[in-house]
Amino acid sequence: MPELINILVIGDIIGRAGRRALSEHLPRLIDQHRIDFTVANGENLAAGFGLTRKTAEEMFALGIDVLTNGNHCWDKREFLQLIDEDSRFVRPMNFSTQAPGRGWTMRETPAGHRIAVVNLIGQVFMGPWDCPFGAADRALREIPSDVHAILVDMHAEATSEKMGMSWHLDGRASFVYGTHTHVPTCDEIIHPSGTAYQSDIGMTGSYQSIIGMKVEGALARMVSKLPQRFEAVERGATIFATKVGIDPATRRCRRIERIRVDPD
């Protein structure tokens, strides 16, 4: 088997708890698993809602190469400018054409392998976005043909829509994976044409919570049907991530492995 590119994909990082967990464990994980490239979903970095320059720089300093986004992309107004200044950020390709930033980016590993990262957002139960399937096709037409791997973050609610995207891109993308639900799935698979798939990477945040938020506020809203303030849990995060091994000559995935690091 040829030398593979080892890529680590981290699910939605939730606030301070998620950032703390990664600061404690990510450098070791990168070394232990011989990771060449790391991508994470950063739309919940800043107290669970959006991201800031400071929180993003914390993640880049730890070894994350690209931060993807989702429906909380614009929760922090400073990001509207920041995303245009730094190619390490992407936002969903099927956002409005008036949105700042880019829907895909390309970065190089230290060994010179070019990795393209595409960000999409689902339509089912999510919002009136443009069609993610058409946006995915457009991204793949724009990406240079000589890249060594293509990763696709499908930020979506419905597993059927995520699965549909993986079959739509089978043989064209290296790894199509879901984010957004904050719940890890154990359905990782490699499709016949070499595209890996997982319905949701899962959040890097506290699981003693309701999808990363303090139970009191989230539960009160469910019970009372009244507005409540959501606050991210600040300690005790579990890291969920997935490692894929990509053949740079074919862009096919050869290995896929879920990774979990529980709080101390």
Of 25, 72, 180, 182, the active-site residue reads 72
Measured between alpha carbons, how far is 137 from 29 in angstroms, rounded to an integer? 33
Secondary structure string (H, E, C) spanning 147-194: CCEEEEEEECCCHHHHHHHHHHCECCECEEEEECCCCCCCCCEECCCC
Measured between alpha carbons, how far is 30 from 213 in angstroms, rounded to an integer? 28
Known active-site residue 168: no
**Residues 6 or more apart in contact with residue 33 via CB below 8 angstroms:** 6, 8, 243, 259
> Strand runs (DSSP E) across the chain, as ranges?
5-10, 37-41, 66-68, 104-108, 114-121, 149-155, 175-179, 189-190, 196-198, 205-206, 237-246, 253-261
Residues forming the active site: 72
